[in-house]
Structure 1
Amino acid sequence: MTQQLNLTQEWDKTFPQSDEVFHQKVTFTNRYGITLAADLYKPKDQNENLAAIAISGPFGAVKEQASGLYAQELAKRGFLTLAFDPSYTGESGGTPRNIASPDINTEDFMAAVDYLSVQENVDPEKIGILGICGFGGMGLNAAIMDTRIKATVTSTMYDMTRVNAKDYFDAQDNEEARHEKRKAMCEQRTLDIKNGTYASAGALPDEAPEDAPQFLKDYIAYYRNRQRGYHPRSQGEGKGWNVTGCQSFIDMPILTYVNEIRSAVLMIHGEKAHSCYFSKDAYAKMIDGNKYTDNKELMIIPGAVHTDLYDQMDIIPFDKIEDFFKTYLK
C-alpha cells in the first residue's frame, strides 16, 4: 500500500534542531492510496503511553516550516508529534502536484490518526490534532468526522472553502461571481488538456508591491525570507498551486456540521489578522446549539497578525496549547 518516497534525510527545517527530542522521517498511506511523508518527534525521556498530536499547515507550506516548529516544541513538552505534508505537496505522494481537496486533505488528518493509533508507544485514547491556517479548517473538519480525535487546536485558521466560494470577507458571495470563477476554471482545464500539463499560478514574489495589502506583505515576509520561513519545497516548489488546484473548494463546503463536535476544541487567532473572522465565525457556529460547549474555547492574541502564529515563539501561546492538550489527552 505504501509508495516509495524519496525523503530528504538531512535536517533542512526553517528552525534549529532540538537535542531534547528524537526525530525521524516516516510515511503512512491515506484512504485514497496516497503515501504521505512526515516528521515524527518524540520526547527523549518518555517511551510509552504517550499522548500524540498530528500537525499540518499552513496552506501551501511544508512540514519543514510552521507545522514542524509546532511539532518539535510540543514534543519538548512531552507529546509524540507527527508533522506531515498533505497529499500532492512537499515530499508526500499524489499526482498531479500542487492541488488541494477538502475531502482528501481532511482524510490526510484522519490517516495521520490511523498511523498514530497503532504506534506501540502511543495511547490510542490520547490522540489530538493541530491545524495551522488552511489546515486549521481541514483539522476542524476532521474533528467533526473522526471520533478518535479527543482534542483539536486550530491556529490562525482559514476556511478555504469559504474564501474560494465567496472571496475575502464574503465580498463576492453571489451567483454571478461564482459563475465567472467556474467558467475561468473550466476554460483552464481545457487549456491544460490541450497543452498536456497543468498550468501553475506562480509562487509569491520576493518583494511585495507598494500597493499590496498588508496580509500579502506579511505572507511574503514569511515565505520568501531566507532568514525566516523560506523553504524550496513550499509554495509548490516555487511554482505555486495549479491554477485549477482549488476548484472543488467552490462547491464543497467544510464545517457543515461543526456544531456537532463533541470533543475539545481550542481555536487561536491573532487580533490583527485579516483572517480572524474565519475563527470567530466558525467558533460561533460550533457552539450554536451544541450540547458540548464546556470544552470549546476561542483565544484571540492581542496585536498579532496572521503569520505571527506561524513562527513567532514569543507570540504563539505554547503554554496554553500544552495545558489544553494535557487536560483533554489524559
Structure 2
Amino acid sequence: MSLRYINQLAATVRRDHVHFPNRYGLNIAADLYYPKERKADFYPALIVGAPYGGTKEQGPAVYANELAQRGFVVLTFDQVYMGESGGQPRHVSSPELFAESFSASVDYLGIQVPFVDRNRIGVIGICGSAGFALSAAAVDPRIKAVVTASMYDITDLRGMMKPDKEQLDKMKMELAQQRWTDFANGQPEYKPSFPDHPYPSVDDLPDMDPINNEWFRFYAVPRGYHPNARGGFTTTSSLAMLQFSALDYIDEISPRPILFIYGDRAHSRAYSERAFDLASDPKEKYIVDDCEHIDLYDQVDKIPFTKIQDFFNQHLG
C-alpha cells in the first residue's frame, strides 16, 4: 500500500478517525480534519467524497489536508459497502445510498462536532462522487454550496454506452441472468479492475486504450494505489444505475451555488458541461489549463484550492 496520502499531513492539522451511521443504520468510516490550534468557536465544514470506487485515503485526503489549513473542518469518508465502512456484500454500488452518505455526513457534523457551524456546511464531489453530491444537495437544503471536481455522472450509464435498443435490451438480459447466477452462488459477482499490488511505475503498465490507461496511471501505481480501491463494483450494480438519475433535480439546488471544476484535457469534461447546463443559477465553471481528469484527484499544483477556498468563504457566509 502507498502511504503517500496518509503520511502527508500538515503539522498544523489534526486528523481523527470517526464512525457514524447513515439513515439505514449502515456504519460509515470517516476521517475528520481540523486545525490543531482552533482560533474560533465555530468553523465552516466541508465534506469530500472520493472518486467512484476510491477511498478516503486517496484524493479526499489531499483536499482535506489542504483545506483544513485554510480554515475549514473537513470530513472524508468511505462509501458504504466500500473500504472501512459497513455493508454486506462488499463492493455493491447504490446511487441512493451513495448520495445518502453525504447527508449522513451532514448529520454527524451538525450533531457530533461541537466546533462546526451546522449552518455553514458545503460538499466537494470528486469524479463519481460529484453526481451523488449533487443528488444529495437537491433534496438536502442543509448543504449550502457544492463544488464538483472532474465530475462523472455514474448514473448516466445509457449515455456512457450510447446503446441502441437492441444493445440496451441485451445488457438488461445479461444483468438479469447474472442475478440468478449470483443467487445460486450465494454472493454477487465482483471483478476488480486493478491488480492486487501496484505496478512499480507507469512505464510498467500493459498496453490499453487511453482512458483505461489514465485510470491505471492513478489506481494501479504507487501514486494512488490503495488495497481498498481495486476498482469496479458488483456486476449487477449496473442495474441500480439504470434505475436512478442523479441530475434529475439539479435545478432545485438553486439558490444555493454550484462550482464545476474540470481540466481542459479531461476526458470527462462533457459531464461537467452537461450538469452546468442543467443547473440553475447561481452556477460557475472553472476550467484548469493543461489538466487531465485524474490531475484533480491529487495534483496540488493543478487543484485550484484558492478558488475553492474563496468560493466557500463567499457562499458559506
Whether TM-score is above 0.5 comes out as: yes
Where does residue 235 of structure 1 map in the other structure? 230
Contact 2:89 2:187 in 1 (8 A): no
Instruction: Identify the residue that residue 140 of structure 2 maps to in structure 1.
Output: 146
How far the C-alpha of 1:194 sits from its partner, in A, is: 1.4
**What's the % identity of the aligned pairs?**
39
* 8 Å CA contact 2:15, 2:32 repeated in 1: yes
How much does 1:202 deviate?
A: 2.0
Residue 125 of structure 1, CA deviation: 0.9
Q: For structure 2, list consecutive stretches of 5 or more residues without a partner in the other structure.
A: none
Instruction: Evaluate the alpha carbon distance shift between residue 243 and residue 83 of structure 1 in structure 2; reply closer, same or farther with a 3 A threshold.
Output: same
Aligned positions, number: 305
Q: Which residue of 1 is the match for residue 58 of structure 2?
A: 65
Q: How does 1:82-97 map to 2 (within 5 A)?
A: 82-97=75-90
CA distance in 2, matches of 1:87, 1:285: 28
What aligned pairs does 1:241-252 form with structure 2 within 5 A after superposition?
241-252=233-244
Partner residue, 1:81: 74
Structure 1 spans left out of the alignment, 5+ residues: 1-10, 288-292
1:272 shift after superposition: 1.0
CA distance in 1, matches of 2:185, 2:4: 35
Instruction: Tell me if structure 2 keeps the 8 A contact 1:208–1:216.
Output: no
Contact in 2 for aligned 1:159/1:254 (Cα 8 Å): yes
* Structure 1 counterpart of 2:303, one-letter code: I
**Partners of 1:12 and 1:64 within 8 A in 2:** no
Paired residues for 1:288-307 under 5 Å: 293=281, 295-307=282-294
Select which of 35, 56, 59 maps to 2:27.
Answer: 35
* Structure 2 contact 93–234 (Cα < 8 Å) conserved: no
User: Structure 1 12/197 Cα, relative in aligned 2: closer, same or farther at 3 Å?
Assistant: farther
Moved more, 149-158 or 242-251: 242-251
What is the distance in 2 between the residues matched to 1:242 and 1:257? 27
- Secondary structure (helix, strand or coil) at the match of 2:217 reads helix
- Provide the C-alpha distance between the structure 2 equivalents of 1:327 and 1:274, rounded to a whole number of angstroms: 30
User: What is the aligned counterpart of 2:190 among 194, 200, 217?
Assistant: 200
1:14 Cα offset (Å): 5.1
5 Å-filtered alignment, 1:240-319, equals 240-262=232-254, 263-287=256-280, 293=281, 295-319=282-306
- Equivalent positions of 1:173-192 (< 5 A) are 174-192=164-182
User: Within 2, Cα distance between the matches of 1:134 and 1:282?
Assistant: 13
- Map residues 205-220 of structure 1 onto 2, 5 A cutoff: 205=195, 206=199, 208-210=205-207, 212-220=208-216
CA contact (8 A) 1:235 1:241 kept: no
The match for 1:167 is 160
**Structure 1 CA distance, aligned partners of 2:155 and 2:213?**
23
- Aligned residue number for residue 115 of structure 2: 121
Q: CA deviation at 1:123?
A: 0.8
Contact 1:159 1:278 in 2 (8 A): yes
State the shift of 1:53 in Å: 0.6
Partner deviation per Cα, 1:34-75 (whole Å, 9 max, x = no partner): 110000000123252100011111001000000111111111
CA 1:179/1:15 → structure 2, altered by over 3 Å: closer, same or farther? farther
Secondary structure in structure 1 of the residue aligned to 2:233: coil
Which residue of the partner structure matches residue 7 of structure 1? Answer: none
Q: TM-score, normalised by structure 2?
A: 0.92
Matched, 1:136 2:130: yes
Tell me which amino acid in the other structure corresponds to 1:276: R
| Matched letter for residue 139 of structure 2 | M
- Structure 1 segment 17-28 matched on structure 2, within 5 A: 17-28=9-20
User: What is the CA-CA distance between 1:81 and the residue it aligns to?
Assistant: 0.5
Q: 1:83-139: per-residue Cα shift (whole Å, max 9, x none)?
A: 000111010001111011111111110100111112211111100011100001100
Cα distance, 1:15 vs structure 2 = 5.4
Q: Could you give the per-residue CA deviations for residues 2-28 of structure 1, whole angstroms, max 9, x where no partner exists?
A: xxxxxxxxx784551221111110011
Give the TM-score normalised by structure 1. Answer: 0.88
CA shift, 1:251, in A, is 2.1
Deviates most, 117-126 or 128-137:
117-126
The 3 A distance-change label for structure 1 pair 186 and 40 is: same
**Letter paired with 2:241:** F
Q: Distance in 1 between matches of 2:15 and 2:194?
A: 30
Contact residue 101 and residue 246 of structure 1 kept, 8 A = no
Q: Secondary structure at the match of 2:237?
A: coil
How far residue 313 of structure 1 moved from its aligned partner, in angstroms, is 0.7
